[in-house]
Amino acid sequence: MKLNDKSTVGGLRAVELYFRAIRNISAGNTAFYQSQTRLNTPGLGTLMPENFRDVSEITQQCINLFELEIIQALEAISTFNERDLMFNWLSVYMPAKYLRDISAENKLVDLTEKMEVKTTQVCFSLSEKLFEESEIEVAENIKKLRNRGFHFMLTDFGSISSPIMKLSEFEVDYVMLSPEITQYLGKDERSDSAVKSLIDFVSGLGAEPIADGISNVRQAESLYEFECEYCAGSLAGSYKAERFIRPISKEN
């Protein structure tokens, strides 16, 4: 299926972003929004990221997909601002190979200016595939884009496929800990110590840790004690379509 910004399947966008809140643990409010892309197809129904990301990143398709996703993300930011939603940034998945493009900085700055969105409200979400990138342009483009006000968040950190020490090579703003890590919270003293050590490692590199997969208040309280201020997961809320993201007083 060839995708473009006009593509629809059964009345739905072929490429559709959903959003979930990332909460500030102490304040209890929404600090950020994380997006998740779903593909609506005529034959296979709705495809989740785990069903298409790896395949798309083998080819140029991942770049084409990102160009559609970033536009929807910027549109969502504008819509959320109009609804008076309080949030610092909204994330959109970026394939690491996009950062090989020496013109990436100019393209993204031009796009945000055209759509009248502040760069500080945009966070690029990167997977562990970032660690496979060896071209100097990748790390340099991250620095350039951060200097422009954009944020970067590495996701699924600490999972089996994530080489921890590679994090030191890339200057990202946020690091989302994998649910594989946070599931150990509260098991025993050694498990809590291991989670805290990873949080300290991330903080020591100048990034803000975000814990994913958090389902209860006890886990959140432990994270706050470990100086991790943000969490995502069922406790913070599930992914929703843009039309359902409203200020709390207006939610149905």
16 HSE (CA, 13 A, CB side): 22
* pLDDT score recorded for residue 43: 84
The residue assigned the tokens 């559709």 is 16
> Is 37 domain-assigned?
no
Q: What is the mean pLDDT of residues 148-167?
A: 92
CB 220 within 8 A of CB 25: yes
Distance, CA of 167 to CA of 154 (rounded, Å) = 9
Write down the pLDDT at residue 250: 45
In a domain, 93, yes or no: yes
In a domain, 46, yes or no: no
Q: What is the CATH number of the domain that holds 100?
A: 3.20.20.450
Q: Answer whether residue 247 is part of any domain.
A: no
Query: 79 lies in which domain range?
Result: 21-30+67-241
For all residues of the chain together, what is the average pLDDT?
A: 92
Please count the structural domains in the chain: 1
Q: Is residue 49 part of a domain?
A: no
* Three-class secondary structure of residue 181 per DSSP: helix
Residue 251 banded pLDDT, cuts 50, 70, 90: very low
**Tens of pLDDT along 43-55?**
888 999 999 999 9
Question: What's the pLDDT at 166?
Answer: 93
Q: Which residue has the tokens 């969490």?
A: 231
Predicted confidence (pLDDT) at residue 5 exceeds the cutoff of 70: no
Which tokens is 116 given?
């009248």
- The helix (run of H) or strand (run of E) holding residue 18 is strand 15-24
Residue 121: is its pLDDT beyond 50?
yes
pLDDT grade for 159, boundaries at 50, 70 and 90: confident
pLDDT of residue 2 exceeding 90, the answer is no
Provide CB contacts within 8 A for 47, sequence distance 6+: 38, 39, 40, 41
Residue 9, pLDDT score? 41
pLDDT band of residue 72 (cuts 50, 70, 90) is very high
Length of the chain measured in residues: 252
Asked, for residue 191, whether it belongs to a domain, the answer is yes
**Across 91-117, average pLDDT:** 97
Tokens representing 89 are 């940034």
Q: Is the residue at 202 inside a domain?
A: yes
Q: How far apart are CA 158 and CA 131, in angstroms?
A: 13
| β-bridge partners, 16 | 38
Q: How far apart are CA 47 and CA 99, in angstroms?
A: 25
pLDDT tens-digit map of 172-202: 999 999 999 999 999 999 999 999 999 999 9
Return the pLDDT at 4. Answer: 53
> Any bridge partners for residue 125, and if so which?
93, 153
232 lies in a domain? yes
